[in-house]
Structure 1
């Protein structure tokens, strides 16, 4: 390996485009959807959903951001550690949170088997139509953010929202 190749390997991948600067209208549209999706939902639940989707999508950037947000909002370390294995650690989460996490799993991995009727029925038993629509929009949005972060090679721990 040459010295140049070693330097490139140590430096990591070349920076990719800044999506917010390159497509500001599209970026603002996602921000608008994100804000609208959160309306009426418990902020703690919002973070759990975003953390779970980020786990499933292997998005370290979003996972770091949303675990930090959850901690600032008072979420316990214990529950944050259990989100990745929520099915095996159900007692850490309310029935409503479990329904939201199951919906998050199904929608995030929708190509693997659609949205099963029992998962939808469970969610609709815990959320009224408006809440369910907002929850779905939240799941759509975090999946979009995950894809933006992954496609543009965002680095975990470099949250532009924090100065």
Structure 2
């Protein structure tokens, strides 16, 4: 069976997801999350889901937000690197837990590092990014040089 672009087939649903995505970004900004952290969360979720389209998109967005190539290069192995702050590490662990809920994390996701508003915003970012990944992968979004 060939892939169907579900956004083209049901544009109203696609627009609602775009609206939810904007709201999650606004929640992240209201929570005071650094735009680079927002893109790291989006990128890490996309890496876990194997979404090439979103990986490329959010790598570019992270670079525009001021992220470094070194940090982006080690993001898949963030636990083994010294590049990420405690806040970033907890945010990445939370995003991974949302993306793969059956995989326990080693980090304490308590309120000692992130405020409830930050935890909620990061969770929403991951939830929405997971949805976008499924749209892109299931629709067969082309990723070519």
TM-score by length of 2: 0.86
* Contact preservation (8 Å) 2:45, 2:96: yes
- Alpha-carbon distance between aligned partners in 2 of 1:117 and 1:93, rounded to the nearest angstrom: 16
1:75 alignment partner, SS class: coil
Shift of 1:125: 2.2
Shift of 1:79: 0.4
Do structure 1's residue 35 and structure 2's residue 22 form an aligned pair? yes
Do structure 1's residue 120 and structure 2's residue 114 form an aligned pair? no
Shift of 1:153: 1.0
Shift of 1:133: 1.1
Q: Which residue of 2 aligns with 1:6?
A: none
- Alpha-carbon distance between aligned partners in 2 of 1:117 and 1:88, rounded to the nearest angstrom: 13
Look at both structures and tell me which one has the larger radius of gyration over its CA atoms: 1
Q: Which residue of 2 aligns with 1:94?
A: 85
- Check 1:157–1:70 CA distance in 2 against 1; reply closer, same or farther (3 A cut): farther
- Check 1:95–1:117 CA distance in 2 against 1; reply closer, same or farther (3 A cut): closer
Do structure 1's residue 46 and structure 2's residue 38 form an aligned pair? yes
Counterpart among 100, 104, 110 of residue 109 in structure 1: 100
| Cα offsets for 1:40-69 (capped at 9, x unmatched) | 232111110011111111111110110011
| Cα offsets for 1:70-110 (capped at 9, x unmatched) | 11222110000011000011x10111000000111111111
Gaps of 5+ in 2: none
1:126 alignment partner, SS class: coil
Shift of 1:126: 2.3
RCO (CA 8 Å, sep 6+): is it higher in 1 or 2? 2
Gaps of 5+ in 1: 1-12, 159-163
- CA-atom RMSD in angstroms: 2.0
Counterpart among 99, 115, 132 of residue 145 in structure 1: 132
- Alpha-carbon distance between aligned partners in 1 of 2:64 and 2:107, rounded to the nearest angstrom: 34
TM-score by length of 1: 0.78
